[in-house]
Amino acid sequence: MLAEERLERIVQLVNEHGSISATELMDRLDASESTIRRDLTRLAQAGRLVKVHGGATAARRTVVASDQSVGEKHGLNLAEKTAIAIHAAQLVGPDDFVYIDAGSTTELLVEHLEETRATYMTNSIAHAHALLSKGCRVLVPAGELKQVTEALVGEQTVATLARYHFTLGFFGTNGATPDAGFTTPETGEALVKEVALRQTLRPYVLCDSSKFTMVSPVSFARFDDATVITDALPSNLAACENIVVAPGGHRF
């Protein structure tokens, strides 16, 4: 059996049974203990299962098919999002050209920004007003204002963003897993995120740890396309080099 076939079979068995021992996998796949342990480590790092003592359990995953309004998101995981936002705000320098995505965590980022000499672009009207009240130079793209998330989306937004080159960018996400990448419920908003992230030299996704078990219908970037700033690091992602835990965070 080829290595990739074996990996897919392991995931299939774990998902079918909920959990499985390394010994059973060795018997079913006619593989050595070292091979199975190596495979489980690789799959755990990819977020496809959770490696436990003596075997593996299925990765918990929630599919989120619809978006929530800004008001609905605002109070969720507030302490975690605030810690992430405070850490992210400290990354902005006076000469940066910063893109800030619409979202509840990026809203907290704007609230905690102290660097007013940088130039900012955002597709969120609310963010733009908040930045303007701080005395910042603010740019907004053209486009259609989406009612649920209060974000500018559409062909005009994408065309505008494709003309710019950002030194730094902060993005929200509805889900973040190594296999599905960063995901969001709606195609139009996903395309805006994809283009803006691609135009950013140093992209950061602000992601509280609850998002590591969530997947939304549309991917806008691969998991390693950006640095993730989070409040806590799950053990199955401990080997990922693109995850930064904000001060005060932990592993679980």
Residue boundaries of the structural domains of the chain: 3-59, 63-251
What confidence score (pLDDT) does residue 121 get?
A: 98
Contact assessment for residue 246 and residue 230, using Cβ atoms and an 8 Å cutoff: yes
Nearest to 61, CA basis, from 98, 18, 117, 110: 18
Above 80 in pLDDT, residue 66?
Answer: no
Residue 197 and residue 174 in contact, taking contact as beta carbons nearer than 8 Å: no
| Residue 70 confidence (pLDDT) | 57
142 pLDDT higher than 60: yes
HEC sequence for 53-67 = CCEEEECCCEECCCC
Q: What are the C-alpha distances in Å from 35 to residues 32, 106, 189, 192, 226?
A: 5, 43, 42, 42, 31
Spatial separation of the C-alpha atoms in residues 96 and 89, rounded to whole Å: 12
pLDDT category of residue 71 using cuts at 50, 70 and 90:
low
Give the pLDDT of residue 252.
54
pLDDT value at residue 176:
93
Average pLDDT along the chain? 89
Q: Taking 80 as the threshold, does the pLDDT of residue 16 lie above it?
A: no
pLDDT of residue 63: 59
Give me the CATH topology for the region 63-251. Rossmann fold (3.40.50)
Better-predicted residue by pLDDT, 93 or 68: 93
pLDDT tens per residue across span 155-178: 999 999 999 999 999 999 999 988
Pick the more confident residue, 103 or 48. Answer: 103
Q: What is the assigned CATH class of domain 3-59?
A: mainly alpha
